[in-house]
Amino acid sequence: MFSFVSGFYIEGFKEEHKDWPESPFIDSIYKPNQTDPSIYRRDFYGRHHKVFLSYYGTDGPIVVTVHYDANEETYKVLYLQDSGLIYKEIPRWAAFRSFWRMLFCKDPSYHHVYQYTPKFQDIRLPRVPTTPELQDELLAVFEPDFSRAIKVGLLYCKANQTNEYEMLANTSNNTSKEYDDFLTILGDRIELKGFSGYSGGLDVNYGNSGKHSVYTKYNDVEIMFHVSTMLPHYPNDPKQIEKKKHIGNDRIMIVFTDGPQSYIPNCMKSKQTRVKSSSSDVNKASPAILSTPIVNQEPSEDSDSSRLAPSASSKKQKSQPLNQLKPAQYIVSIATTIPLNEPPLPASPVFYKDEQFRKFLLEKLINGSKSLCKHPVFQTKTNRAQSMVFHTFTHKHTNLVNAKMKFTSLLIVISLLSCIAFFATSALPNKIKYTADHLSSSNDDKCASGSMYIAESIPMYLNLTTNQTTYDAWMNLISNAKESIDMGLFYMTLTDGGDLPSEYGGYMGMNIYKEIIAAHARGVKIRIVQNLPSSGEGNDTANLSQMGAVELRTINWPSLVGGGILHTKLMVVDKKNAYVGSANYDWRSLIQVKELGVVVENCKTIVEDTKAAFEQYWEAANMTQLPNKWPSKDKAKYNSTHPAQLKLNGEDISMFLAVSPPQFVSKDRTGDIDALVAAINAANQSVCISVMDYAPTSFYNNPNLFWPVIDDALRAAAFNRKVNIRMLISHWNHTNMYVIPQYLKSLDVLNYVQVRWFQVPDLPFQPQVPFSRVNHAKYMVTEKQSYVGTSNWSQDYFTNTGGLSYNIVNQDFTAQLQSIFNRDWNSPYALPINTFEQQQQQHKMNLQNCKEKHSNLLFANFNQDYSCFACGTEKGFLIFSCDPFKERFGRVFDGGVGIVEMLFRCNILAIVGGGTKPKFTPNQVMIWDDYQNKCIAKLEFKSEVKAVKLRRDRIVVVLENKVYVYNFADLQLVHQLETTNNPRGICAVCPGASNVLACPGLKPGYVHVELYDHKQTQIIPAHESALSQIALNKDGTRLATASEKGTLIRIFDTATGEKIKEVRRGSNRAEIYSIAFNNESTALCVSSDKNTGHIFDLSRSAPATSSASTKEPESEVKNRQSSFHFMGDILPTNYFKSEWSAVQFQIPESRSICAFSSTPNSIIVICASGVCYKYTYDFAKGECKRDENPLQFMENEES
């Protein structure tokens, strides 16, 4: 049934896991105890009871429910806090009664009942009306979805199928009768579209999860099966990613094996699945499982660690002929990574097709799910999900109770004042008259019950706390929407994290995405206006539009404004609720990026004004030219001189919305930059700023411009008024360290100004998430007011980019925002501005930044056919031909060149500045025409360029987490890829006719290969550790890779992703500096920091297109092997099976790169000291000789 594999345990076979922890089986289905959430359903739900709660308890949120059981004359009390659940039964006679209640023979007050428990005797909680709706909400709090509804994966394994791709490829058209019968045992075949029960994450609206599934309800628990043969099948996807999205994320999985083979529990890679049950028809099962213990059999030659796990029957029962077994029988085996649970597997795990079999399976599934929720692996996630429901419920109803109490108090005060006024007026002489024709309240009556709060996203593993998360705020806004949702956004990639393991938090984005779809299903009208997507960006909005869930418009911002983007982050719900803040509609913004925004609820006044800004975007999406003057309907109601006077959170608040750029500032609207500068100018005591990017320049203009508008205001505040200014600026992988630090330092030296970096640490596990782990917030707080916006602080964001800000004057709100800033300022993540001054510039590639003695060489690399090499220096660049060696041309600049990439042997180069005094900023790629002696084009990026690769039709630019591909003819972006952290700038491009690109994947050690001609992508798991070098052969058919360990070089077929050869450089760790194929792909050369070079014979694994005439006879060409290689198949390590280099040679220096020369059997080696060596090798003799006369291509500075 199951093959033994590390990490999984087979129930009923203890011998293979003697270290299994001795623990009792988990109790059977839902036996309520004093801490079981189902006690609320048993003793409270649907019965008369009182509910008391508070979000602001001394120990956090608390909910208390009290029910009087007249039959038992007992009060039943349930307490729920973050620390857990407490259940008490208090006799009626034991509860305290006040004197008056005793005097009038009344029962104890419910407050006194719950105060009977010592822990709660000093608290008094407000009571909320116990309506049926509230009871339903409480049921969800005490019994979250994961306790009364579970999802289970069901994988169909046909005969002789051994890997997940074969199994996932099975469809309902090629199943067996036994399998179909098994599905009827599990539950009912239901139609998904319009299904109202528990969906288990399947689409029940638009058919994206197939037409049918299997569902059942057992002991009040709903179970939805993710049936592999019923999920949509895509013939062009060999990995069936859509199926694995569901089954691979199920914690429990059933495997129905329809053949004699055993199932290997980890053949489907998943960090979620912890319990696997295997079922098979006995007539197709392996006889070894039923009759003779496999441990008594001789192992087969091809068996390794995949020994079959015998069932208990193989040990305790005599063998039974297969043809005598009843046809409707099934064998069951259980593999798990958690302690076993009830019901236990019988000694004879053979079941008939009857109700007993169904009962066993379903109880096993339900109890397994319950065990998983309490298992350490998932406990944190379970607690977090339950806590999220609990906090949301208490926060919502605490606000409602407080608002009701304040409203009641207000009515009482008004009534008293009215009585006083009436009697006072009656006592006055009749001749005195008062009029109130022109008196009116300064507070808007539409916001009497309104509220406003700060929502933050705190990246996981950041030791900071917040009261309200962006995720909770968005979920509340969308789930409570009744009529409309309007979103203005830069882009939407909520579902992109769905394929990642759940510990990355991608499920949050998926939940928001599903909530949007659910809102549409409720009849909510949803409109989205977005920036024009670039190639490679997420397609969530397009998918929502295709479903008919949203009405989508796209703004071509540069065509309307002349540059920039729509960078706003805005949500308006039901014309009375709104969100404005820094968070993009990206799953990373909910859990991997630090964000801050403002949520306004139940306040039409300011929200209608916010909606007017959305309507401008909505209209602009259909325009070809912006109006010189916006029509009167777009006129702002409130601005900096006439802010809205509101009553939010029971307090007076002055507030207005500001917008950018100036082209979108309608009549009476305040511009964003004007509001920001005015707030700085009004400060007399303090200004605290938290923003991702800050510079008194532009970032994206050509050329960039000096723009000191904000900078001047800050300096004037510090110098003229002695205002204390503190600034937190983000430092991350994409910080422009060549522009931002110099301006921050110039501010930091001023009196009354302090500047710090804020750095979010990387995740403690791999892979890292690209474009995350950064403080993305954009706010300012002074002693008088608060500014919360969507823009970074540079010229581009205020003059040609779409953005918004809420400007708020309220003492309590300002204090909250100030507290958040102080928390961050005093945290270990706030670092002095000079922290990174001594940080060494990362290697761009190969020899970059190698400062060996007397050398000013910054960079060296060969061109595409190894006929030339280029050098970048502190004073310019040089180009040399290799064979014969000759200086071809060069340029002397007044600054350094960190990268110079040739295009074969022509006059076109790609140049990037570098060194101590860069000629060009290192975030720019200059296309240099040496014939004209000038730059003919420029590409600019927000972060440092790590590498550039050229083809005759493409320019490839490598950043630390991204690769951009441009068309050479018009510099149009044609593709972009995200990578794991890539400080070396690792990338390879096929120089020949085939258009192939290879770069690091999203996980360390993985290679992403794009075969553009075939519109095919390969993700190759090349190594377990991070990559150090990769290379493509001339035709793009072979890929060579090396990891940071540097012991093995692996060769892959790019078309199939299969490993075709593995060679060994050595046994000790080494840093690989270069890998290169020869023109025929029959040899490979490698250089490392061990002062050695290696040449490997690849003739027997060369592609068929290689010229046969260039190959030496196989008998004379052979890589070296260990003298013990004949023992490789019987020893536990592959070391002795390794192939070592056919030729090894010594290099005088430790840092070098090598390539094949145009002269047959020769190698060119370039060293960091500015010396070039030539070697001649002989495979037949296993020799390699160095020419006696090394070539000095760069003079030392002292010579």
Edge-first strand order for the sheet with 595-601 is 451-457, 595-601, 577-581, 570-573, 484-489, 525-531, 551-555
**DSSP string of 1076-1111?**
EE-TTSSEEEEEETTSEEEEEE-GGGS-TTS-GGGP
From 81, 85, 74, 77, select the one nearest 49 (Cα to Cα): 77
Domain match, 815 and 855 both: no
Give me the residues paired with residue 15 across strands: none
Judgement on whether residues 689 and 749 belong to the same structural domain of the protein: yes
Residues 391 and 356 in one domain: no
Statement to judge: residues 505 and 421 lie in one domain? no
CATH of the domain at 487: 3.30.870.10
Please tell me what DSSP assigns to residue 903.
Answer: -
Task: Name the phi and psi angles at 1104, rounded to 5.
Answer: -60, -20
**999: in domain:** no
Which of residues 334, 349, 374 is at a domain's end? Answer: 374
pTM of the model: 0.47
Identify the sign of the CA torsion 353, 356, 357, 362.
positive
Q: List beta partners, residue 280.
A: 257, 331
H or E segment and range at residue 362: helix 355-374
Catalytic residue at 574? yes
* Whether residue 411 sits in one domain with residue 333: no
Alpha carbons 250 and 72: distance in angstroms, whole number: 44
CATH of the domain at 270: 3.40.50.11210
Retrieve residue 906's tokens: 């022509």
User: What pLDDT does 1136 receive?
Assistant: 57
Question: Do 456 and 360 belong together in one domain?
Answer: no
> Does residue 1157 come out as left (phi exceeding 0), alpha (psi in the -120 to 50 range) or beta?
beta
816-844 burial code (b ≥16 CB/10 A, e <16): bbbebbeebbeeebbeebeeeeeeebebb
Mean pLDDT per 10-residue section of the chain, whose length is 1199 residues:
45 47 37 52 83 77 84 82 80 61 58 65 77 82 68 86 84 87 90 86 77 89 91 78 76 80 55 49 34 28 32 32 44 58 70 82 82 64 68 79 71 77 54 30 59 95 92 96 96 87 87 93 95 70 90 92 93 96 96 97 94 95 92 92 92 95 95 96 97 92 85 96 96 80 92 95 78 95 97 94 96 95 95 72 39 62 90 90 83 90 88 90 90 85 92 92 89 90 93 90 93 91 93 93 92 93 87 92 91 88 50 50 54 63 87 90 89 89 83 62
- Which residues neighbour 889 within 8 Å (Cβ) at sequence distance 6 or greater? 878, 879, 930
Shared domain check, 569 and 469:
yes
**Residue 745: active-site member:** no
Q: Please tell me the distance from the alpha carbon of residue 385 to that of residue 1084, in angstroms, as a whole number.
A: 53
Please check whether residue 549 lies inside any domain of the structure.
yes
Cα–Cα separations (whole angstroms), residue 1167 to 179, 889, 915: 65, 20, 18
Catalytic entry in 574, 711, 796, 1035: 574
Q: Which two tokens stand for residue 865?
A: 């056919």
State the number of CA atoms in the 13 A half-sphere of 951 facing the CB: 20
Q: What is the pLDDT of residue 254?
A: 87
DSSP letters along 1130-1190, please? TSS-SGGGPEEPSEEEE-SSSSEEEEE-SSTTEEEEEETTSEEEEEEEETTTTEEEE-SS-
Length of the chain: 1199
Of the candidates 26, 8, 24, 21, the one whose C-alpha atom is nearest the C-alpha of residue 309 is 8
Same domain, 551 and 640: yes
Map tokens 């995720």 to a residue: 471
Asked whether residue 423 is assigned to any structural domain, the reply reads: yes
Catalytic site includes residue 567: yes
CB 1091 within 8 A of CB 1066: no
H/E element holding 191? strand 188-191
Question: Which of 893, 923, 940 is a domain's end point?
Answer: 940
Cβ atoms of residues 1101 and 1060 within 8 Å: yes
Give the N- to C-terminal CA distance of the chain in Å, as an integer: 75
Which regions of 252-366 does DSSP assign to beta strands (E)? 252-257, 275-281, 329-336, 350-352
The pLDDT score that the predictor gives to residue 1057 is: 92
pLDDT at 413: 77
Q: Are residues 416 and 463 in the same domain?
A: no
Q: Quick one: how far is CA 533 from the chain centroid?
A: 19
The phi, psi pair for 904, rounded to 5°, reads 55, -120
Report yes or no on 1163 lying in a domain.
no
| Angle 401-407-412 from CA coordinates, rounded to 5° | 125
Number of other CB atoms surrounding residue 41 within 10 Å: 19
Domain termination residue (choose one: 925, 940, 955): 940
pLDDT score, position 436: 27
Catalytic one of 569, 919, 1090, 1094: 569
- Whether residue 599 contacts residue 577, with contact meaning beta carbons closer than 8 Å, is answered with yes
User: Rounded to an integer, what distance in angstroms lies between the CA atom of residue 989 and that of residue 904?
Assistant: 13
Predicted pLDDT of residue 322: 32
Catalytic option among 353, 567, 875, 962: 567
Whether 641 maps to a domain, the answer reads yes
Residue 439 pLDDT:
26
Residue type, 114: Y
| Spatial distance between the Cα atoms of 813 and 828, rounded to a whole number of angstroms | 25
CA 281 – CA 290 distance, rounded (Å): 12
Residue 1044, CA distances (Å) to 17, 530, 839, 851, 1093 in order: 35, 41, 21, 22, 17
283 and 197 in a common domain: yes
Instruction: Tell me the CATH number at 413.
Output: 3.30.1120
Q: Are residues 516 and 470 in the same domain?
A: yes
Tokens of 114: 């719950």
Alpha helices in 486-629 (DSSP H): 506-521, 540-547, 557-561, 588-591, 604-620
Residue 1096 lies in a domain: no
CA dihedral 140, 143, 144, 148 (to 10 degrees): -120
Peptide bond into 661 cis (omega under 30): yes
Q: Are 910 and 924 contacting, i.e. CB atoms less than 8 angstroms apart?
A: no
Q: Provide the H-helix boundaries in 577-640.
A: 588-591, 604-620
**Range(s) of the domain holding residue 880:** 843-940
pLDDT of residue 335: 55
Q: How far apart are CA 30 and CA 36, in angstroms?
A: 8
d(CA 736, CA 754): 20
**Domain-embedded: residue 866:** yes
399 and 489 within one domain: no
**Does a structural domain hold residue 1026?**
no
Closest CA to 152 of 95, 83, 84, 201: 201
CA torsion sign, 689 to 692 to 695 to 696?
Answer: negative
Q: Per the structure, how many domains does the chain have?
A: 4
